[in-house]
Structure formats: C-alpha cells, structure tokens
C-alpha cells in the first residue's frame, strides 16, 4: 500500500525558513517522480514543485522559484521541500504526491500546514 506522510509544518515568521519532509513507503521510491502541491485555506490546488525519479531534474512554479528547493534521499525514501524567504501568501497545506503516468498525481499524503505569520 502506498503511503506518504508529510511532516515539518508549523508557524513561521515572514522571511523565515521551513523544511518539509515526506516519508514514502509501499512503492519503489527511486523509480517515481514526486511533487509538492499546496492549498491555501479555503482555496484551490496549486502545484509548487516536482522532482524526477533520480532527482536530477527539478521544476518549480514561478511563485516559489528562487526561494524553494526540492530534493530526495532515496536511501531513506524521503522527499524534502526547503522553503526560504517565506511570505504570508505561502500559508497553505502542503501535500506531497507520487507521480504516476505522465505527471499525474496518483497518490497523495494527508498534508502538513505551514502558516507564515508574525
């Protein structure tokens, strides 16, 4: 059974940093691309970033480019999102998602809430 468990959310001040983690199990982690998708309170889904199976390629939404980095540790089956220079508009539930065929998100974690506020 595929399981994705996010952690690392919390309250952070504007301009601060936060590192999210996503522990994956139930599939061959290194064989699949992964994504982060966020959802601001009461709003829709926004794709944030993605990484190839081998970790050699990363992709970012313009809204986070230059501030967020994404990485993966295949030895620990864990995905990371390093978020720097955080802004109030980054407040959201952050979901990690496994990528299936194409860049379709076939499995999702339950999300972790990041609140950027002073």
- Interacting residues with other proteins (CB under 8 A): 35, 37, 44-47, 50, 59-62, 95, 100-111
Residue among 23 and 46 whose Cβ is closer to other proteins: 46
Q: Check residue 47 and give left, alpha or beta (phi > 0: left; psi -120 to 50: alpha).
A: beta
Smallest gap, in angstroms, from Cβ of residue 86 to other proteins? 20
Task: Give the nearer residue to other proteins in terms of CB position, either 1 or 118.
Answer: 1
CB of 47 to other proteins, least distance (A): 4
- Residue 26: helix, strand or coil by DSSP? coil
CB closer to other proteins, 12 vs 109: 109
Residue 57 CA to residue 43 CA, distance in Å, equals 29
Give yes or no for a contact between 113 and 42, defined as CB atoms under 8 angstroms apart.
no
Give the nearest distance from C-beta 75 to other proteins in angstroms: 26
User: Could you tell me if 26 and 42 are in contact, meaning their C-beta atoms sit under 8 angstroms apart?
Assistant: no
């Amino acid at each position: 059974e595929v399981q994705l468990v996010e952690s690392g959310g919390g309250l952070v001040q504007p301009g601060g940093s936060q590192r999210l983690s996503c522990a994956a199990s139930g599939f061959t982690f290194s064989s699949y691309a992964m994504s982060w998708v966020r959802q601001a309170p009461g709003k829709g889904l926004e794709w944030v970033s993605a990484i190839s199976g081998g970790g050699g390629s990363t992709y970012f939404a313009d809204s986070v480019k230059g501030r967020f980095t994404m990485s993966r540790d295949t030895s620990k089956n864990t995905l990371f999102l390093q978020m720097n220079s955080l802004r109030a508009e980054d407040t959201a539930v952050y979901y990690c998602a496994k990528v299936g065929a194409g860049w379709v998100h076939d499995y999702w974690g339950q999300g972790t809430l990041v609140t950027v506020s002073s």
